[in-house]
Amino acid sequence: MSLKTVLLAGSALLALGISPAYAQSEVKIGFITTLTGGNANIGQDMRDAVELALDHMGRKMAGKPVKVIYEDDDQKPEVGKQKAEKLVQSDKVDFVSGFIWSNVLLASAKPVTDAKVFLVNANAGATQFVGAQCNPYFFSTSWGNDQMPAAMGELMNQKGVARAYAITGNYAAGRDMVKGWQDAFKGQVVGTDLTKWPDQLDFSAEISKIRNSNAQGVFFFFPGAHGIQFITQYTQAGLKDKIPLYSVFAIDQLSMPLLKDNAVGVIQTGPWTADLPYAANQKFVTDFKKKFNKVPTFYAAQTYDAINLIASGVAGAKGDLKDKEAIRAAMKKANIQSVRGPFKLGPNQVPVLDIYQQVVEKAADGDYQQLTVSTVLKDSVSSAASACKMQ
Amino acid sequence: MILFIEQILNGVQIGLLLFLLAAGLTLVFGIMDLVNLAHGSLYMMGAYFAAVLTKLTGSFFLGALLALPAALLLGIVVEVVALRSLYSRDHLDQVLATFGLILFFNEAAQLVFGVAGMTIPLPEALQGQIQIMPGLPYPTYRFVVVAVGLACALSLYWLVVRTRVGMLIRAGASNREMAGALGVNIARLYTLVFGLGAALAALAGLMAAPITTVRVGMGENILILAFVVIVIGGIGSVRGAFVAAFLVGLLDTVGRAFLPDILTLFINPIQAASLAQGLSSMLIYILMALVLVVRPAGLFPAPGR
Amino acid sequence: MAIKPTPTVAVATIVLAGFALLPVYAVLAGDSFVLSLGTRILVMALAAASLNLILGYGGMVSFGHAAYLGVGGYVVGIMAYHGVTSAWVQWPVAILLSAAVALFIGALSLRTRGLYFIMITLAFAQMIYYVGVGLYDYGGDDGLTLNARSDFGGFPSLDDRPQFYYLCFILLVAALYLMKRLVGSRFGQVIRGAKSNDPRMHAIGFPTMRYRLTAFVIAGAVCGLAGVLLANQADFVSPATMHWTRSGDLIVMVVLGGMGSLMGPVYGALTVLALEESLSSLTHYWKIIFGPFLVLVVLFGKGGIAGLIARWERRK
């Protein structure tokens, strides 16, 4: 009985969900990110940034109301791909944005760009789309996976690290990152570990190897919960003060409250922190704190830029969402007030950006904050970009 | 050589953590003939309870101590509400229903405890390292894990073999009707055993929490490992689970520790690391398949099954 | 063979007719997504039907059936990667390889019983999963994107959504017909007999092991075909296709639809995917509804949807 009722309700809902789209009175954006599971807090931060960006533009683009459909990718490539298909084919969105994970982006991009819908990637750094598979319908407000590690390699050269160990998760971004770092790092690589991703939680075997190598520094990339676990275990093993950690993406506003003192002393290269001195950034950070009572992450910052980039495209086409050429031309100009200061896109439609050295400090009130120390690379471009044939 | 000893220690430590999780699972299966996939969810809930209670009381010991009865209670509620009527069903129904419970607990944990995840900071005394031998410091907390695992194994042995409760448990396992006819309240006994299993899962969860952080879905992958352990050991046998947990822990660690170096001799480091990671994950399952092919009921088949 | 218009037949006819007419609706409504979803349902129904043969009729609870989805998919993916896109090459290789894998797994696993069988099939599936993860050149953990779908040399074209849909539909109906014939035959009777009492069947003189192994291999081969279709539908194959939770999904479909009933897997796949799609558009926390729903189905929905229909039939 209950079974039958649920079934009927289910099919009725299904019928509702697939009804045809209405005329173009609004701007529709599909936003794919991770909203459930262990890394849902990243997705939530991105969603908050979308909402703030919309608030700042009066929830309208070129006079048209904006509708955002949030979809959860469950951190799984095939789920992301299904959601992308649904957004494009069923909801008939004009833009698809979001994407935390490279592997989700890799699986999801084709149905979007094939349908000539603009994909504005807010975080994933799959180098394929930065380079050889660059696409007129693919824009990004992030970077290529090799860029932050390349900056880190450079920074470690500057700091005189002669022997280093590299460790990361065994997936596309992880391998991209280690490769990017290896190409820039001039010292000797005494060991490389790729851990089971995303299942592995205990790093004791790898940490023992690091202790017994004669490394002077450890380069690592673990985003989200894994980064916290690695740093915690590394600290418990008593290694943090002996062999310094050099990270990309592990330290952010989500991990600092959990890591606490363990975060202090970890050196990182990254694209953004809350203290960047640009007016747009200060407004973003202040209002984000006011609205959500928390400091935004770089995921949020890049998302904020992505929504603004979409708005600039819609404005450039004067609200005519059918005029793809005008939208693209306007977005390529990247005429937005970015939280990262002067903002420009390369021919591959991916930002040309500055990369900073970042550290963590414990403030007087007991909170932890991430500070920018110096600029490591100016106008950085992914090494994959040269493979892009687009002008 | 020092590295080798250290890696063996790592393996022992992971093995004991697995044993904590597997003990509850094998107990529940051995006595009640219930396949409980939601055991991993109880592991997760135990870790969350400990994290919240540690925060409230300001002490890890107190938090951990309070989390155990909380998990016991949760186990009893789950048993009474959902699982009680599953004992007479076949294993397939049990797999399915408890699979449903996993989905429920994952989302519920996210709604109740938030998406940010939690950590359990260790007290000062457990943060350091102990010098085992020159050139080999080892994290104090990992020793605590080893100690708790061993203590737990001993007290389980004592409980099952030496106490009245244990006698009832063994009686209930070998002949349900007979024990019932002799005046044992089987329903209450089962509820108690399930609660005990839940508390064991929670203990595993809260012991792992300071190492791995507390988050949604943390019990899913380790659950499969726990199943591998109890199947290799012989389902229902605590002794078997103990031996198998060691085997699995050692095999996993040694594979991760030494395979990449061996493979690097043949192919480039990144490829070697990637391949080694795949191979070492497979080792455990190869071991399980081999054991089952040679001994279809595990290493220590429980009697009467 | 006269077919009585019982509810069981009526519902089966309505559901199959609904599937047959779906593309018409899709074209009229201008909604191509419903075809993508429909294709996915048909493919999963095919996979679930293959599991139903051994689980529903034969009582073999394989917790690693998703492995064949991956084997079939990877054959397509890897061959396409090397430029071999002809379906006439890809598909037989995929089916044969799936059958061979099933033969290997079955020969070793069928010696065990009960939970041990559940776990050893899981173990083998996990091994294959990690082989997929270790395929570094083919994307490893991230999976492999298909640049071209299988090519039949013009017709049917898998790039054409309705054609692809109908191909899946025809294959599903053919597989169901095959199952019906198989289950009704002497072979099927031995399989079902071995489910309820293996020693007796053995004592009567049937080499039940050989029969059960044959069923296991057929199920693997059919599921491999489903994997081929799934990879083509998604333009993508990854180890996640073989994750143990996917094997769990398949079991859910079979049990929910009704074990040991011909149409059960179809109902199961339809319900699970439709619920997933509709609930997840209601809330991102849809699993908090779906989880207890499963528990309720197990506790009160004996025989699944097909059982529900059969009971309704008896009451009339």
Three-state secondary structure string covering A237-288:
CCCCCCCCEEEECCCCCCCHHHHHHHHCCCEEEECCCCCCCCHHHHHHHHHH
Closest residue, chain A, to B1 (C-alpha): A212
Confirm whether C21 is domain-assigned.
Answer: yes
- CB-CB neighbors (< 8 A) of B219 in chain C: none
- H-helix or E-strand spanning residue A357: strand A351-362
Using only C-alpha atoms, what is the Rg of chain A? 21
State CA B192 to chain mean position distance.
18
Interval A159-217: pLDDT, tens = 999 999 999 988 878 888 999 999 999 999 999 998 887 777 789 999 999 999 999 99
C244–B97 C-beta distance less than 8 A: no
Interface of A with C in 30-59 (CB under 8 A): 35-36
The answer, yes or no, to whether residue A20 has pLDDT greater than 50, is no
- CB-CB neighbors (< 8 A) of B35 in chain C: 115, 118
Band of residue A10 on the pLDDT scale cut at 50, 70, 90: very low
Band of residue A19 on the pLDDT scale cut at 50, 70, 90: very low
C133–B278 C-beta distance less than 8 A: yes
Please indicate if any CB of chain C lies within 8 Å of the CB of A5: no
How far apart (Å, rounded) are the C-alpha atoms in residues A31 and A182?
A: 34
Q: Is A46:A98 a contact under the CB 8 Å cutoff?
A: yes
B252: closest CA of chain C, how far (Å): 14
Instruction: Give CA angle at A54 (A332, A106), nearest 5°.
Output: 55
CATH number (domain holding residue C98): 1.10.3470
Domains assigned to chain B: 11-120+139-294 (1.10.3470)
What are the C-alpha distances in Å from A290 to residues A275, A284, A337, A367?
16, 10, 20, 17
Q: What three-state secondary structure class fits A381? A: coil
- Chain B contact probe: residue of A236, A260, A299 with most B CBs at under 10 A: A236
Q: What is the pLDDT of residue A201?
A: 77
Q: What is the pLDDT of residue A24?
A: 66
Mean of the pLDDT values across residues A65-85? 92
Q: Burial, A160: exposed, middle or buried (Cβ in 10 Å; 0-12, 13-18, 19+)?
A: exposed
Q: Which residue among A208, A225, A228 places its CB closest to the CB of B10?
A: A208
The answer, yes or no, to whether residue A359 has pLDDT greater than 90, is yes
Confirm whether C2 is domain-assigned.
Answer: no
Alpha carbons within 13 A on the beta-carbon side of C241: 34
Interface of B with A in 100-139 (CB under 8 A): 106-107, 110, 114-119, 121-122, 127-129, 137, 139
Mean of the pLDDT values across residues B237-251? 93
Largest CA distance in chain B: 68
A40–B115 C-beta distance less than 8 A: yes
Closest residue, chain C, to B26 (C-alpha): C115
Q: What is the DSSP letter of B122?
A: P
Interval A124-142: pLDDT, tens = 988 889 999 999 999 999 9
The answer, yes or no, to whether residue A274 has pLDDT greater than 50, is yes
- CB-CB neighbors (< 8 A) of A44 in chain B: 115
Could you give the ipTM of this predicted complex? Answer: 0.89
**End-to-end alpha-carbon separation of chain A, Å?**
62
State CA C288 to chain mean position distance.
25
The answer, yes or no, to whether residue B173 has pLDDT greater than 80, is no
Domain that holds residue C291: 7-315
DSSP-derived secondary structure for B98-143: HHHHHHHHHHHHHHHH-SS-B--PPPHHHHSEEEEETTEEEEHHHH
How far apart (Å, rounded) are the C-alpha atoms in residues A195 and A199?
A: 9
How far apart (Å, rounded) are the C-alpha atoms in residues A241 and A244?
A: 6
Q: Burial, B124: exposed, middle or buried (Cβ in 10 Å; 0-12, 13-18, 19+)?
A: exposed
C34–A90 C-beta distance less than 8 A: yes
The answer, yes or no, to whether residue A2 has pLDDT greater than 70, is no
Higher pLDDT, B259 or A237: A237
- H-helix or E-strand spanning residue A64: strand A64-72
- H-helix or E-strand spanning residue A377: strand A368-380
Confirm whether C26 is domain-assigned.
Answer: yes
Interval A305-319: pLDDT, tens = 999 999 999 999 999
User: Helices C244-257 and C304-315: crossing angle, nearest 10°?
Assistant: 0
B103–C287 C-beta distance less than 8 A: yes
Mean of the pLDDT values across residues C266-286? 89
Which residues are paired to C14 by β-bridges? Answer: none
Confirm whether C1 is domain-assigned.
Answer: no
B215–A225 C-beta distance less than 8 A: yes
The answer, yes or no, to whether residue C148 has pLDDT greater than 70, is yes
Q: Which of A314, A311, A305, A265 is nearest to A284 (CA)?
A: A305
Interval C176-187: pLDDT, tens = 999 999 999 998
- CB-CB neighbors (< 8 A) of B281 in chain C: 126, 130, 133
How far apart (Å, rounded) are the C-alpha atoms in residues A378 and A251?
A: 21
- CB-CB neighbors (< 8 A) of B220 in chain C: 245
- H-helix or E-strand spanning residue A372: strand A368-380
What are the C-alpha distances in Å from A34 to residues A291, B105, B154, C35, C245?
21, 18, 43, 26, 18
How far apart (Å, rounded) are the C-alpha atoms in residues A257 and A331?
A: 36
Q: What three-state secondary structure class fits A41? A: helix
- CB-CB neighbors (< 8 A) of C308 in chain A: 3-4
Q: Which residue among C120, C287, C295 places its CB closest to the CB of B106?
A: C287
Q: Which of A211, A231, A219 is nearest to A185 (CA)?
A: A219
How far apart (Å, rounded) are the C-alpha atoms in residues C83 and C119?
A: 38
Closest residue, chain A, to C311 (C-alpha): A1
User: Helices B2-32 and B140-162: crossing angle, nearest 10°?
Assistant: 30
How far apart (Å, rounded) are the C-alpha atoms in residues A76 and A101?
A: 9
| Beta-carbon count within 10 A of A165 CB | 23
The answer, yes or no, to whether residue A23 has pLDDT greater than 60, is no
Say if strands B136-139 and C144-145 run parallel, antiparallel, or are unpaired.
unpaired
How far apart (Å, rounded) are the C-alpha atoms in residues C315 and C170?
A: 33
With a CB cutoff of 8 Å and minimum separation 6, the contacts of B206 are: B46, B47, B49, B50, B63, B64, B67, B120
Q: Is C143:A77 a contact under the CB 8 Å cutoff?
A: yes
B270–A192 C-beta distance less than 8 A: yes
Q: Which residue among A38, A178, A237 places its CB closest to the CB of B129?
A: A237
Q: What is the pLDDT of residue C145?
A: 87
User: Helices B60-78 and B39-57: crossing angle, nearest 10°?
Assistant: 140
Q: What three-state secondary structure class fits A39? A: coil
Please indicate if any CB of chain A lies within 8 Å of the CB of B7: yes
Q: Is A72:C276 a contact under the CB 8 Å cutoff?
A: no
C305–A78 C-beta distance less than 8 A: no
Confirm whether C308 is domain-assigned.
Answer: yes
Domain count, chain C: 1
Band of residue A15 on the pLDDT scale cut at 50, 70, 90: very low
> What beta strand segments (E) does A107-255 contain?
118-121, 138-140, 163-169, 188-195, 217-221, 245-248
A193–B260 C-beta distance less than 8 A: yes
Please indicate if any CB of chain C lies within 8 Å of the CB of A10: yes
- Chain A contact probe: residue of C164, C279, C280 with most A CBs at under 10 A: C280
- The structure tokens listed for C303 are 């025989």
With a CB cutoff of 8 Å and minimum separation 6, the contacts of A111 are: A81, A84, A85, A88, A89, C235
Band of residue C202 on the pLDDT scale cut at 50, 70, 90: confident
Average of per-residue pLDDT values in chain C:
90
User: What share of chain C in percent tops pLDDT 90?
Assistant: 55
Tally C-beta pairs within 8 A across A and B: 116
- Per-state percent for chain A, helix, strand, coil, to nearest 5: 45, 20, 35
Confirm whether C37 is domain-assigned.
Answer: yes
C274: closest CA of chain A, how far (Å): 7
What is the reported pTM?
Answer: 0.88
Q: What is the pLDDT of residue B161?
A: 82
Q: Is A113:A343 a contact under the CB 8 Å cutoff?
A: no
Confirm whether C211 is domain-assigned.
Answer: yes
The answer, yes or no, to whether residue A7 has pLDDT greater than 60, is no
User: What share of chain B in percent tops pLDDT 90?
Assistant: 47
Interval C259-268: pLDDT, tens = 989 999 999 9
Mean of the pLDDT values across residues B116-143? 89
What is the phi-psi region of residue A58: left when phi exceeds 0, alpha when psi lies from -120 to 50, beta otherwise?
A: left
Cis (ω within 30 of 0) for the bond into C162?
no
Q: Is C233:C36 a contact under the CB 8 Å cutoff?
A: yes
Q: What is the pLDDT of residue C315?
A: 76
Neighbours of chain B (3+ CB pairs under 8 A): A, C
Band of residue B174 on the pLDDT scale cut at 50, 70, 90: low
Q: Which residue among A202, A209, A258 places its CB closest to the CB of B257?
A: A209
Q: What three-state secondary structure class fits A233? A: helix
Q: Is C143:C239 a contact under the CB 8 Å cutoff?
A: yes
How far apart (Å, rounded) are the C-alpha atoms in residues A108 and A116?
A: 14
Closest residue, chain A, to B124 (C-alpha): A236
Q: Which residue among B29, B227, B275 places its CB closest to the CB of C136?
A: B275
Q: What is the pLDDT of residue B41?
A: 95
Q: Which residue among A192, A208, A228 places its CB closest to the CB of B269?
A: A192
Domains assigned to chain A: 24-143+277-349 (3.40.50.2300), 147-270+355-385 (3.40.50.2300)
Neighbours of chain A (3+ CB pairs under 8 A): B, C
B264: closest CA of chain C, how far (Å): 15
